[in-house]
Amino acid sequence: MKKEMLKNRKKIRDKKIAFILVMFFMIVIIFCKVKRKSDTIVEHEVKDREEKAENENFVEIAKPKKEITDWRLVLVNQDHILPSDFEIELAHVDKNREFDARAIGELKQMMQDMQNAGITNVWVQSAYRSVERQEEIFTHKVNEYIAQGKTQEEAENLTSQKINKPGTSDHNLGLAVDFNYVDYSFDETLGFSWLAENAEDYGFVLRYAKEKEAITKVDYEPWHWRYVGKENAVEMNALGFCLEEYVAYLQEKE
């Protein structure tokens, strides 16, 4: 009987030892898994911090914009002012008006072909305009707004929507023409329709289109046409670009 009891006690002790060993090994396994997972998390966190630091310290080198050297595409606007030393050779459109001598032939041919097409009521009302003359026109309009009760700043902002500041007008380049009177009804004439269809063949484009006001920052002017050269005019119209967009397009083009 005593032997039987001792035998049972030994079995119980062996089971306890086996249970303790199993539990010990399970704890060791769990600990290893937890540690491995913790090490992985720490490793990822370190890697993320390193990548973040690299990104913060990384400075992207902007690709330089291509220089546009075509004189026909010189861009002047509120953000691109004509250099003070700008010079131009002019030729007479008529006894009172002048245009860039390099493009006067295309302008005269366009006017002649328009007349040959039976449109005889379109004339060049304004072409080259000196910066000094531009200053006079701009100041006169500003004073008109001030007389209406506008502040100097308000008057200048309103004027800029209709008249370019001195040094920011195509007229100062000698590459722009205004046809007939400054009148929005010009776009209802046969002359405007003819220009819209044919002007690109002579290198001219509508400079300030209605749908491009947000880009050009100038109100729609159906009477104002700019010489850019035939190949440029054709491509601009095909792309649906104003001059600002076209110059930017060429600067990014490979």
Segment among 60-64, 71-75, 138-142 with least mean pLDDT: 60-64
Beta strands in 39-195 (DSSP E): 90-92, 98-100, 124-126, 176-179
Between the alpha carbon of residue 205 and those of residues 8, 42, 71, the distances in Å are: 109, 63, 15
Report the pLDDT averaged over residues 21-44. Answer: 59
Whether residue 194 has pLDDT greater than 50:
yes
Q: What percent of the chain has pLDDT over 90?
A: 65
Alpha carbon distance 208, 224 (integer Å): 7
| Active site amino acids | 221
**Chain-centroid distance, C-alpha 94:** 37
**CA 253 to CA 230: how far, in whole Å?**
19
Helix count and strand count (H, E) for the chain: 9, 6
What percent of the chain shows pLDDT beyond 70?
A: 74
Q: pLDDT value at position 58?
A: 42
pLDDT tens digits for range 81-118: 998 889 999 999 999 999 999 999 999 999 999 999 99
Grade residue 18 by pLDDT with cuts at 50, 70 and 90.
Answer: low
